[in-house]
Structure 1
Amino acid sequence: MSELVRSVMLDDISKEEFQNRDSELIEMLRTIWGGRFYILLTVLLCVGGTIYYVYSLQEWWTSKAVITSPSFEQNSKMYKDISMISKSLDAKYDNAISTIISKKALMNIFVEQFNSFNNKNEFINNQKGLLSFSQETLTRKEIAAWASRINVEEVKIENVKRYQLTFQATTSELSEQLLSKYINFISELTINLVNNDILTLVSMNRDVIKNQIEILNIRAEALANKAKEQTKNALYMADYARITNPLENVKSNDFPFELGTQALKAKEDILSKINDLSYYQPELKVLHAKLNWLENFKSNNELFLFDYIKNPSKPFYRDKPNRLLFILVSLIVSLIIGISIAYIVKVLKQEES
């Protein structure tokens, strides 16, 4: 019996709570309807002000490009030119050049130069017209702000390391234009850097070969003078001993007088006509051939540092401001403020009455 009574009492309490909630909801709706003017005015002012504000904000757009390592075929001419002189290079110089011109190294050098603040600084100062700077000299703050909008990020596509290049600017067209220009600027700079490194290494190897040739020339000249002096002394000895024809079973170590005056005179004549020092040092011919290859080597400006996966393009969506988000937040906040004002006005009216 007590459980039945308790159940009836709970039903009555639930009905009463439901009625109270209904009445509170109705009262709230009445308050909102009564203060609709304040709510509408607050929404119009807040949302209108927000729309004016967000449309006065500077727009920012980001153009993107994705690059990967160049193919062997793209730089086939350069590899062919290097292979032509590789046999003329000492091992350490050949290895150093091979390291510089590897596919990964070329792209890594480009990325390092792309991310260099000094290069960004130089590029920004050269683009004052596009960036709408009126003053001649840019402040460090302005340069730093624009430099922060030029970025490179490593990305992995199908487990292959690639790089995404970005440039943020005030319009969609400008961002694409600046990114393309900056890529070309860095490419030209990097190609010059790579070529200068290669030419420096070739020049260093060339200097080494020149030093080797100089040393061998000294040795060859010494050998030539020694041979002439020995022949001269041997001729004197043979003439003094009146040896005209070669002697059999006689052999001297230093002065071959046993050849006889006729043979020694012929030898002396031949030695006086030999001007090619490689006769005394055959290695000179090899070194001269190497030097000739290295001196005729020219840098290759048609160098591919990377290959495009995605070319620079105009962005379809701006980065900021997010106008829709601003307006939605403003609408929600203005409704809360408007309803609050409606409740405050209601309370004040009740106190006055």
Structure 2
Amino acid sequence: MTHNDNKIVRVNQDSEQVDLIGLLLQLWRGKWVIALFVALAVVISGLYLSFAKEKWTSTAVITMPDIGQITGYTNVAIILYGDAKVDINDIQQRAITRFSGAFTALSETLQNQASPENLTIDAAVRGQSLPLKVTYQSNTAKNAQQELAKYIQQIDEQIANELNEDLAMNMKSRVSELEASLITQEKIAQEQKDLRIQQITQALTVANESGIKAPQEQQSDNLTQDSLFLLGSVALESMIKNESSRPLVFSDVYYKTKQNLLDIQRIKPDPANIHGYRYVMKPTEPIYRDSPKRSLTLLIAVMLGVVVGAGVVLVRNALRHYQPRA
């Protein structure tokens, strides 16, 4: 029984071997058919490569601007608010954040056009906000590089103008604030002067009523408002005349405010000295295109040609030797 089973297995194995050899022989006899399909697939792939739209991607890496690239903004901010209130690192962060937001908006706009353009911005290193990688895809390597540089420059100019407008608004607000402060200080100085004249006038009235003409006290520093009449009517009349003609007296704060106002009115921010980014890597001119891949396309064409050609050969032979059951 065991012997017979082994014999059956051996016969089945021989049958499978014969079938495999027969299959290979069929394919070999149909090699010209297979070669024809391979040639046809290569021709079709060649036509595809000739007419397919090429895609090239240029890449650039950017980060926050250097201190020197935002001097046009920081110098004005320091004049406006003072050195202690200006955080340069915060200005750099806000500049690149604005740049990233504006670039993302431009990317969405270009993607939603009738003829979409593929412009992207993303983190260059996973998990880190900076630096940023920006890319642009075009039909030629040179055009991809030039267009990416153009869009980066476009957004940079937009950010510079926005920051310049912010400065103009801040300057206008600060000028109004300083002018209001000067008016307040002048009003206070005038009120102090008027009060001083009123006090001397009151003392003169008391001196006249008391019949005091000559000074009764030589040290005026020792006199209070209530005893100021002791200077005598002659001296008090002279003091009133002097106080009326004397200019207003201001504190150092007034003159510092005045100087700050004049400094602000003289400055003229220049957008050319304001930038929202710094290149880590400038837009590259790609060496390899994204698609179509010539070698990969031809390899796939050859494989498909072989598979289709082999299938045709096997189906044809199977139909030739097909015998319906009686």
Q: TM-score, normalised by structure 1?
A: 0.76
Q: 1:276 aligns with which of 221, 242, 248?
A: 248
Q: Secondary structure at the match of 2:98?
A: helix
* 1:108 to 2:78 alignment: no
Q: 1:115 to 1:217 in 2, by over 3 A?
A: same
Structure 1's 40 and 69: CA in aligned 2 closer, same or farther, altered over 3 A?
Answer: same
Contact 1:230/1:254 (<8 A) preserved: no
TM-score for the superposition, normalised by structure 2: 0.81
- Give per-residue Cα distances to partners, 1:63-92, cap 9 Å, x unaligned: 10112233445556754554455438xx8x
Contact 1:252 1:258 in 2 (8 A): no
Distance 1:296 1:120 in 2: 41
Amino acid at match of 1:57: A
- Residues 1:164 and 2:133 are matched in the alignment: yes
CA distance in 2, matches of 1:68, 1:209: 36
Find the counterpart in structure 2 of residue 260 from structure 1: 232
* Structure 2: gaps of 5 or more residues: none
Q: Give the aligned partner of residue 167 of structure 2.
A: 198
Q: Structure 2: how far apart are the matches of 1:255 and 1:274?
A: 23
Q: How far did residue 246 of structure 1 move?
A: 1.5
User: What's the CA shift for 1:185?
Assistant: 0.9
The aligned counterpart of 2:257 is 287
RMSD: 3.6
Could you report, residue by residue, the CA deviation over 1:255-287 in whole angstroms, capped at 9, with x for unpaired residues?
943322332232223222223352xx6642232
Identity %: 21
Give CA-to-partner distance per residue, 1:81-130, whole Å, 9 cap, x none.
54455438xx8xx3xx537853333222221221123x874xx6xxxxxx
Q: 1: distance between equivalents of 2:153 and 2:216?
A: 80
Q: Distance in 2 between matches of 1:154 and 1:113?
A: 15
How far apart are the structure 2 equivalents of 1:174 and 1:255?
91
Aligned mate of 2:26, from 28, 31, 43: 31
Corresponding position: 1:214 with 2:214: no
Query: Are the aligned partners of 2:60 and 2:135 in contact in 1 as well (CA < 8 Å)?
Result: yes
SS of the residue aligned with 2:136?
strand
Counterparts in 2 of 1:57 and 1:346: CA distance versus 1, 3 Å: same
Q: Which amino acid is 1:33 matched to?
A: W
